[in-house]
Amino acid sequence: MSTSTAARLDVAGMVRVARERVVARIREAEVVAAALSAGRNVILEGPPGTGKTTLLRSLADGAGVPLVLVEGNAELTPTRLVGHHDASRVLTEDYRPENFVPGPLTRAMTEGALLYVEEFNRVPEETMNVLLGVLSEREMHVPRYGRVSARPTFRLVAAMNPFDAVGTARVTPALYDRSCRVAMGYQDEAAELQVVAATTGAPASLVARAVRAVRITRDHPELRIGASVRGAIDGVLIAVELATVRATTADEDDTGLDATLAALTGKVTLADGVGRPVEDVVADIWRRAGEELGKA
């Protein structure tokens, strides 16, 4: 029998804070807030840099509940997630509840937090099984520590990147069946312009060209994986600094190009069989972005 039931959350407060801090994404904010308030767990599925963490953080703040963030990877063992007994204290004191060091899951359950696991598909299967048990029971038994019950506001949110081939197949149908899924794709150009303008405060022409360039990377035949809005933010910020050292303007062609090469060449992945360097592909994209916007 379940000892803790989920309490409703402040949906209006969540959506209000999301509207203040997140560009567009109103539908997603409302649906995720509603699902969480209804006691559901949520899978956020979208490529890197699509605002998943930004949205979740604002929803947690709006609900007035803590956010516990965990990076999912192969090293996230059940022990790391749940916690462990302090080895040196165990030697002198034996196992005691006081020498238990809670991991993020235990903290999130006892604080009534949103537990946000990024790159969830990279989490080892035995760790996923621990989470599945908690989702069903809202409590868990920790050996030599005791029973941990989830406070009524505890929820799990798992983020997944659809392009991430690592371990994707291992996310069990049981987890999908116990969660709701909200897709977070790339935003439209107007929203991305607003995101980059707000984060950089740079001149509109530079922001426009950087945003256009990352958008071109996403369906470029020579690239398998394109860049997110982070690529545009990085390019703009570098160009502004570079213009200062060079005593030129940030949207001057060479300065913009050097900044874009630094910002994008590591973020994109060449398609199979492409024979030229990634620098050449990105340089073409930068020029094309300029042409499309009627500059070069």
Ligand X SMILES: Nc1ncnc2c1ncn2[C@@H]1O[C@H](COP(=O)(O)OP(=O)(O)OP(=O)(O)O)[C@@H](O)[C@H]1O
Total binding residues toward Mg ion, as defined by CB under 5 A:
1
Letters for 99-118 (x = contact with ligand X by CB under 6 A, - = none) are: -------------------x
- Cα 123 to Cα 50, 113, 167: the distances in Å are 21, 20, 8
- Least distance in angstroms from the C-beta of 131 to Mg ion: 18
Of 13, 161, 145, 21, the closest CA to residue 85 belongs to: 145
Asked if 22 is part of the footprint of ligand X (rule: CB under 6 A), the reply reads yes
Cβ–Cβ < 8 Å for 176, 41 = no
Q: Which of 52, 138, 212, 215 binds ligand X (CB under 6 A)?
A: 52
Q: Say how many C-beta atoms besides its own lie within 10 A of residue 137's C-beta.
A: 15
The pair of structure tokens assigned to 265 is: 């060449």
- Least distance in angstroms from the C-beta of 282 to ligand X: 20
Asked if 231 is part of the footprint of ligand X (rule: CB under 6 A), the reply reads no
The pair of structure tokens assigned to 288 is: 């094309």
Asked if 168 is part of the footprint of ligand X (rule: CB under 6 A), the reply reads no
Q: Which does 49 bind (CB under 5 to 8 A by kind): Mg ion, ligand X, none?
A: ligand X
Considering only residues 47 to 86 of the shown chain, the ones binding Mg ion according to CB under 5 A are: 53
Q: Which of 37, 48, 108, 128 binds ligand X (CB under 6 A)?
A: 48
Q: Which of 106, 161, 200, 260 binds ligand X (CB under 6 A)?
A: 161
Total binding residues toward ligand X, as defined by CB under 6 A:
20
- 166 φψ region: left (φ > 0), alpha (ψ -120 to 50), beta (else): beta
* C-alpha of 254 from chain center: 32
- Least distance in angstroms from the C-beta of 69 to Mg ion: 8
Asked if 122 is part of the footprint of ligand X (rule: CB under 6 A), the reply reads no
CB nearer Mg ion, residue 123 or residue 216: 123
Asked if 23 is part of the footprint of ligand X (rule: CB under 6 A), the reply reads yes
Whole-angstrom distance, CA of residue 279 vs CA of residue 263: 11
Whole-angstrom distance, CA of residue 122 vs CA of residue 171: 9
Single-letter residue type at 261: L
Binding region for ligand X (CB under 6 A) out of 96-104, 121-129, 228-236, 287-295? 228-236
Burial class (CB in 10 A: 0-12, 13-18, 19+), 262: middle
Instruction: Please tell me the total number of residues recorded for the chain in this structure.
Output: 296
3 state SS of 44: strand
Q: Which of 156, 195, 232, 289 binds ligand X (CB under 6 A)?
A: 195
Residues in touch with ligand X (CB under 6 A): 22-25, 46, 48-54, 118, 159, 161, 195, 199, 229-230, 233
Q: Report the interface residues with Mg ion, using CB under 5 A.
A: 53
